[in-house]
Amino acid sequence: MPIIHVLEESAGPVLALRVSGGRGGGTPPAEVAGRAEEIASRHGALRLLVEVEGLGFLEAASLRSQLPLAARLAGRVERVAVVGDQGWLKAALKSAPGGPTEVRHFPKARAGEAREWLTYRRETT
């Protein structure tokens, strides 16, 4: 079962999470969902930074059932930056269903770029 931690670098419209393999501990899923809803309500949208560490493909597949975010935040998640070096991660993100949410993969060595991309604001004219 994946373990989820809310990271201290969460700020503004960005909720930063670390998802890893293992047992026990972490931030309770209801608390993660509550933080996400609070950010989306305050900022009108939510951007997620997801650092993946030591997580296998099968564990990742069970993650959706652990977080009751999808239905409650439909259409409010603007961007998702997934940071990790697992071989399966990039392929899994490419095969994910499309939608209004921009999702990008960043290798761990480019984690700073992921944070910059999340905080980048498009200029409207």
pLDDT in tens, the chain (125 residues): 788 899 988 889 999 999 888 777 888 888 888 899 899 999 998 999 999 888 777 777 666 555 556 567 777 888 989 899 887 777 777 655 556 678 888 999 999 999 999 988 654 44
Residue 125, exposed/middle/buried by CB under 10 A (0-12, 13-18, 19+)?
exposed
Which residue from 96, 76, 86 is spatially nearest to 19, judged by alpha carbons?
Answer: 86
pTM of the model: 0.82
Q: Which CATH number fits domain 3-119: 1.10.3470, 3.30.750, 3.40.190, 3.40.50?
A: 3.30.750
